[in-house]
Structure 1
């Protein structure tokens, strides 16, 4: 009986013995690991450094192990911040080291064993690398604002204000544009953000802020270049900018809360107000020039297309040159996001216009107005809402959108030029077309209205 009982208990006893041995080994390893960890106090432990600048951090090391204990400082991401030389920290030693910022982002400076590459301390330095505001950024902003003001004076010389009043009386076109701008685009950008950046709320925020922004002033320029209804385009841009006072807070405080629930957002009403005045004042100046200085107005109308093309080219090239650093953040998802926002806007805006049986020049203006977002306001909102580091990182989305926006429109422009060169309309067909448009009351330019030779230039 005794023998049987001993035999039955042996497996259980062996199991408990093995368990005791394993636990003992774990405790010993933990004790050795804890004793081997150095205590290093960094001052400061959180630093902010600008790209290509250097900052100094002091340290004080203590350890319960012998005096020979040493470790090597390292950066977890040298692309963001690095140390120009190797820094060794030894037990019971004080000193300092330099950290140089390299690119936007966050990283950690810590200490490791040089032979095993194992981290030997729980203490570290949290590093944020930011971008400085440069003189070229201010020059770009000022020059772009000046050129856009001049182009809007040209628009004021071109616009047939009687047609604007007619469009207000029958607001089907502007209504389609507002629906596309403030219903379709926010939903598109929200959905694309979830699809492309499910684990990156900052990029989703950049997309959503772009989608809820009003139409961009470039829509009027492209409408003029592609021979759309410029009166309808300017009216929609003006209405869209004013409507942004209500629609932007509505979207940001409803659907936007699902992207970040704890953000304390404030609407930049002063910025949007200044944008409205920046749009309306040059238009008013152009109207006065066209009314009282007809020769000057006619000249400004004649140079509208060429000046608009140069402005678009200037903005694209200058924007790319001044924001070259953002291309390091580009990935295939950001490229797809940059294409998806405006290109889907063009397509859906055009489809909506055709569903409501709008003429071709109206459909073109509505499509352009829907697809082109005011990325400047999106960037401003991101910088106003987020801390500098996250603001710089998230602005890659509106910059990508701005870069990808012109490609389909440029393709249409090239197609139009090729068609005009190789398959031109006959003069008699043009006359008949003008007669049909005038009799059907769908001609928004009136080839013989007033003395605006600029309108003939756009026709």
Structure 2
């Protein structure tokens, strides 16, 4: 229980008398636990006609109240028992009814239901932090600046990818969140943070599988990862402030600054290893890729088994949001690339790079910067996005395989645009970022 005891508001009952409730302003209770809170209602002129006191919450799916009441000459005194049902925030409402039929209600407190802090939660958060740090060290070791330099000689493709990633996707995520979660600021924040995250390294694998321009994909991933250190805070401190204000939440400036610095350090470490210890860098790249995949699988299983409550949050709105952001990202990336008259291979690379977000970074940022229960509630959005992202890409890949099989069966030679093989991808660069389970399976 937090907050200080004070008198909340004055309301007129049938225009005759005013009544007040003395109770704490903020009541924090753990999920599946009960907390007892004392309260007092001073008697007023017409209190002798009082027939009933009703205490309810705005949302019984979050918290359920019950109470015991006694009275003396000056006041009604009671003990309020609040049962935490599920994560979230709701309001506590007192209603007084008179014998003559008069009734008056007022919101007197805010109830916050959070999860009980467990050791396993700390281990999970630390595991995510370690995973992201390892992946960024790996990225620093694997960045091929020669490939980036060659691609940047014709910067149209990277420029399109940058605009799609850090202009279209943030605005798109904000709009989707506004339309679907206008009454749920926590989910709106989760949607927005997912949209402002950089592209995921899985885009490189999918680019190869779907015959895109690998060099362009690698360059865009590199540029977006570096640019994210500036673009993510920019969007959070501008458009993101509106969402925080709507949810009566404080923008975590300090935590976001620490987060950005925390990602720069492993990236620099990886780059230094690449420059100073090239042999060690090659060994690390080879070792870290399978290690990262194992760690990713571990985190996913860990997250599901320890946070099953997330699936209770899944609703049709969350599923649509999880599909909408990446799928519309693919579509907008394709349209913009076509308008700019890019080659087919470049169009595929830009579309894939735009739609695939690094949901691991989004989860890490949300859990690191927000306080309970917001950190838990917001996580469901990037989790859903991670699940939905590979679906259209998998369908396209299956269609491609079927088409090739039919052409070969018909005796026709299928002429596809030449693209690097997966082996060349591993030799050229081993960019490892957080991927979804479906993506990992397809890349094997």
Q: Same fold (TM over 0.5)?
A: yes
Shift of 1:139: 3.9
Tell me which residue corresponds to 1:271: 259
Whole-angstrom CA distance in 2 between matches of 1:316 and 1:139: 13
Q: Secondary structure at the match of 1:388?
A: coil
Tell me if 1:51 matches 2:39.
no
Distance 1:297 1:396, change over 3 A: closer
Tell me which residue corresponds to 1:351: 335
Shift of 1:242: 1.9
Tell me which residue corresponds to 1:244: 228
Whole-angstrom CA distance in 2 between matches of 1:123 and 1:73: 10
Tell me which residue corresponds to 2:396: 412
Shift of 1:345: 0.7
Shift of 1:123: 7.7
Please list the CA deviations of residues 299-344 of structure 1 after superposition, one character each: whole Å capped at 9, or x if unmatched: 769x86xx88877766655545544334444443332222211111
Tell me which residue corresponds to 2:174: 190
Tell me if 1:78 matches 2:60.
yes
Aligned counterparts, 1:243-392, within 5 A: 243-256=227-240, 259=243, 266=253, 268-279=256-267, 281=269, 318-379=302-363, 388-392=372-376
Tell me if 1:167 matches 2:151.
yes
Structure having the higher helix fraction is 1
Shift of 1:446: 11
Q: Is the 8 A contact 2:51 2:99 kept in 1?
A: no
Please list the CA deviations of residues 217-243 of structure 1 after superposition, one character each: whole Å capped at 9, or x if unmatched: 443454466565454333322211221
Whole-angstrom CA distance in 2 between matches of 1:287 and 1:231: 21
Shift of 1:137: 3.7
Shift of 1:178: 0.6
Q: Is the 8 A contact 1:59 1:96 kept in 2?
A: yes
Shift of 1:246: 3.3
Q: Secondary structure at the match of 1:56?
A: strand
Tell me if 1:100 matches 2:83.
yes
TM-score (norm 2): 0.70
Whole-angstrom CA distance in 2 between matches of 1:269 and 1:88: 49
Please list the CA deviations of residues 216-272 of structure 1 after superposition, one character each: whole Å capped at 9, or x if unmatched: 344345446656545433332221122123333444444445556696563723312
- Count of residues in correspondence between the two structures: 414
Tell me which residue corresponds to 1:131: 115
Q: Secondary structure at the match of 1:106?
A: strand
Please list the CA deviations of residues 61-96 of structure 1 after superposition, one character each: whole Å capped at 9, or x if unmatched: 54354599664544443321224x653444555453
Whole-angstrom CA distance in 1 between matches of 2:134 and 2:237: 36
Tell me if 1:41 matches 2:41.
no
Shift of 1:370: 0.8
Please list the CA deviations of residues 148-191 of structure 1 after superposition, one character each: whole Å capped at 9, or x if unmatched: 67777887898766434422333333222111111221232233
Match 1:403 to one of 387, 397, 407: 387
Distance 1:260 1:141, change over 3 A: closer
Larger Rg: 1
Q: Is the 8 A contact 1:40 1:121 kept in 2?
A: no
Q: Is the 8 A contact 2:134 2:266 kept in 1?
A: no
Tell me which residue corresponds to 2:8: none
Q: Is the 8 A contact 1:157 1:300 kept in 2?
A: no
Q: Is the 8 A contact 1:152 1:283 kept in 2?
A: no
Distance 1:346 1:278, change over 3 A: farther
Please, which runs of 5 or more residues in structure 2 have no aligned partner? 1-11, 432-441
Q: Is the 8 A contact 1:77 1:108 kept in 2?
A: no
Q: Secondary structure at the match of 1:100?
A: strand
Shift of 1:115: 9.8
Q: Secondary structure at the match of 1:87?
A: strand
Q: Is the 8 A contact 1:159 1:231 kept in 2?
A: no
Whole-angstrom CA distance in 2 between matches of 1:399 and 1:164: 31
Please, which runs of 5 or more residues in structure 1 have no aligned partner? 1-26, 438-442
Distance 1:376 1:394, change over 3 A: same
Structure having the higher strand fraction is 2
